[in-house]
Amino acid sequence: MRNVVTIAGKELRTYFHSPIAYLVMALFAVLCGFFFYNLTAAYVIETFRMLEMGGMGAPPMNINENVIRPLFEGILTVVLLLLVPLITMRLYAEEKRSGTIELLLTSPLTDMQIILGKFLGALCLYVLLMVLAFLDIGLLFLYGNPAAKPLLANALGFLLYGGALLSLGMWISTFTKNQIIAGIVSFAVFLLLYVFDWVSAFSNGTVGRAMSFMALTTHFDNFAKGVIDLSDLVYYLSVIGLGIFLTARSVEALKGRA
Amino acid sequence: MIEVEGLTKRYGPTVAVSDVTFQVRKGEVLGFLGPNGAGKTTTMRVITGYLPPTAGTVRVAGFDVVEQPLEAKRRTGYLPELPPVYPDMTVDEYLAFAGRIKGVAGAELKKRMDAVSETCAVSDVRRRQIGKLSKGYRQRVGLAQALIHNPDVLVLDEPTAGLDPKQIIETRQLIKSLAGQHTVILSTHILPEVSKTCERVVVINGGKIAAVGTPEELTRRLQGFETVLVTVEGPEKEVKEKIERIEGVNLVERHEASDGRVTFEVHAAKDKDVRAEVARAVVESQWKLFELKTSGLSLEEIFLKLTTKDLGEEPAAT
């Protein structure tokens, strides 16, 4: 466990020694802030209009449903497709390029300690992004009264969604010495997993349903609504586990090939 | 300390190392010599546990690198050809990280960091970023990393590659000073390195061991006394005839001549040292003897002889 923490600490320090951490956080803060402002402004205008109209027959406005949910479900999930590859692309590719992988693999560490350490380090940076998002959402508490409990589900969903992307991105990073390639391939794979459930629009057969189930987004909907569903939880944990397992296999193969 | 037995490593259909067996004794500096692509790096990577062997066993300090990798790795320090440094880190951060993943912690870590910085002469740059250091410093930081956990065994892959002559001499001295307390195995394709730093040499070529011995043994075994070079000032024809008459001399050839001095190449019968007789013959005739030596093969020539011979015998290996 101490070794895992050491590796995680090293990864996190590397993010902050290079521009990557600042770049990712700045991009996320700007994008998240812009969309949050937009959604909130639209919400306020809509509320005033409904007050003027006396709220006849319209469903009551709810800040969780009308601001926070679309922010997570419609926007941040997409923003992350772009930003998570920036976090994961260097995890193995850079170690392979600079030869430091030889230091890691010849030190008295197990492969799994290295993998978990790297995953944990990347996850820490990701949690900082989450903090940024919740800073924005926290502002709502100053001027309104959003329900706090659904936010916990939002946070958990956000963490699991990111964890799934991170573990898959880490796996993809083991295949190349080139960070750019790792980043682009990760983005393509993430995008594909994101749009998988679009097939459900025209295919209701087994294949369509299976693909829809595999999509990263279908399982996020409940979390965005503030609902924790066991099947969603299992789905994300499985994807994280799969990513870590595939990374382990890939590192094993790496040794055979040199 | 290191026991390599029947080591074979294949990358797909390519055989990188084939049935290599050798031992390194405790405290010894063993040179691993061979042309580029001979299998030096592959062998070292197997010893350090970076690559699994296809066949054969490797034991470090009694621990099998496949069966007990963590125990073996704990006792091994490894400097790959390219120093495995993180350019973003400072020297101190890097050594601390390397120490921690190798199981050194707390006060002991601090002590070891001071010690290896001192040994490897990087004390003056400990707060500098590694990426901004010169190649020589980076190499020494890499070596400091290999030493941080005070390993029994030190594996150095071409430790002087890419350094300037002064740095090369310093690195060699450093390696020599490590012998005794550490068992060192170092690879190189540069010959003087071996005669200057190593007690024993394993010559590897085409993935196979071509020769094992001390640098002196190898020299003796290959050069023999059969060919002697003698430089004399005197009448060329008479000198030649006189030397030809010595017992055991088969052939005398004029090698070169300048300023009235002639150098002859004297070929003697196998295992026959004719140097004393040649010297007496020249001096007795009142000629001036300037130089007398076995046409010693340099290490370079031995190396070429060993490696090309092997290839000649086995054209299939190419």
Q: How far apart are alpha carbons A241 and B260 in whole angstroms?
A: 85
What's at A239, amino acid-wise? Answer: V
- Nearest Cα residue in chain B from A257: B11
What mean pLDDT is predicted for residues A12-30?
Answer: 93
A123-130: average pLDDT: 94
Q: Identify which of A18, A103, A258 has the shortest CB distance to residue B45.
A: A258
Residue A207 is predicted with a pLDDT of 78
Helix residue ranges per DSSP H, B160-298 = 165-178, 191-197, 215-223, 236-244, 275-284
pLDDT (tens digit per residue) in B54-91: 999 999 988 999 999 999 999 999 999 889 999 999 99
At residue B83, the pLDDT reads 92
Contact A99 B93 (CB under 8 A): no
Could you give the ipTM of this predicted complex?
0.86
- CA A43 to each of CA A36, A50, A54, A57, B85: distance values in angstroms, whole numbers, following the listed order: 10, 11, 16, 18, 52
Give the residue with greater pLDDT, B299 vs A210: A210
| Domains of chain B, earliest start first | 2-221 (3.40.50.300), 223-294 (3.30.70.3100)
Mean per-residue pLDDT, B237-241: 84
Quick check: B310 pLDDT over 50?
no
Task: Please tell me the predicted confidence (pLDDT) of residue B168.
Answer: 84
CB atoms within 10 A of CB B161: 15
Dump pLDDT digits (tens) for B17-47. Answer: 989 999 998 888 998 888 888 888 999 999 9
Residue of B66, B97, B101 to mutate, testing the A interface (most A Cβ within 10 Å of its Cβ): B101
Tell me the percentage of chain A whose pLDDT exceeds 90. 58
The phi-psi region of residue A257 (left if phi > 0; otherwise alpha if psi is between -120 and 50; otherwise beta) is alpha
CA angle, B230 then B234 then B238, to 5°:
85
- Give chain B positions within 8 Å (CB) of A108: 69-71, 73-74, 101-103
Q: Among B77, B42, B16, which Cα is nearest to A106's? A: B77
Identity (one letter) of the amino acid at A235?
Y
Burial of B245 (0-12, 13-18, 19+ CB in 10 A): exposed
Beta bridge partners of B200: B30
pLDDT of residue B90: 93
Half-sphere exposure of A84 toward its Cβ, with a 13 Å CA cutoff?
33
Alpha carbon distances (Å) from B180 to A13, B1, B32, B175: 37, 12, 18, 10
Residue A182 pLDDT > 90: yes
Q: What percent of chain B has pLDDT over 90?
A: 32
Chain A residues with beta carbon closer than 8 angstroms to that of B45: 102, 258
B107 touches chain A (CB under 8 A): no
Report the percent of chain B where pLDDT is more than 70: 89
Partner-chain contact A17 B50, CB within 8 Å: no
Q: pLDDT tens-digit profile of B205-218?
A: 888 888 888 877 77
Instruction: Work out the widest C-alpha separation in chain B, in whole angstroms.
Output: 80
User: If pLDDT is split at 50, 70 and 90, which confidence band does B263 have?
Assistant: confident
Q: Which residue has the tokens 């980076």?
A: B138
Residue of A2, A6, A102 with shortest CB distance to B84: A102
In the structure, what pLDDT confidence band is assigned to residue B312 with cuts at 50, 70 and 90? very low
Residue B142 has a pLDDT of 93
- State pLDDT tens for residues A44-103: 888 888 888 776 666 667 888 888 888 888 888 899 999 999 999 999 999 999 999 999
Long-range contacts of A76-80 (CB under 8 A, 24+ apart): A76/A32, A76/A35, A76/A133, A76/A158, A77/A161, A77/A194, A77/A216, A77/A217, A77/A220, A78/A194, A79/A28, A79/A31, A79/A32, A80/A129, A80/A161, A80/A162, A80/A165
pLDDT at residue B311 greater than cutoff 50:
no
Phi-psi map region of B233: left, alpha, beta (phi>0 left; psi -120 to 50 alpha): beta
Q: Across residues A173-178, what is the average pLDDT?
A: 94
**β partners of residue B129:** B90
Nearest to A27 by CA among A125, A148, A170, A115: A125
What's the token pair of residue A233? 């939880």
Q: Which of B11, B84, B103 sits opposite A100 (nearest CB)?
A: B84
Alpha carbon of B74: minimum distance to chain A alpha carbons (Å): 5
- The minimal CB distance from B80 to the residues A2, A3, A99 is found for A99
Are B85 and A98 within 8 A, CB to CB? yes
CB within 8 Å of chain A, chain B residues 247-306: none
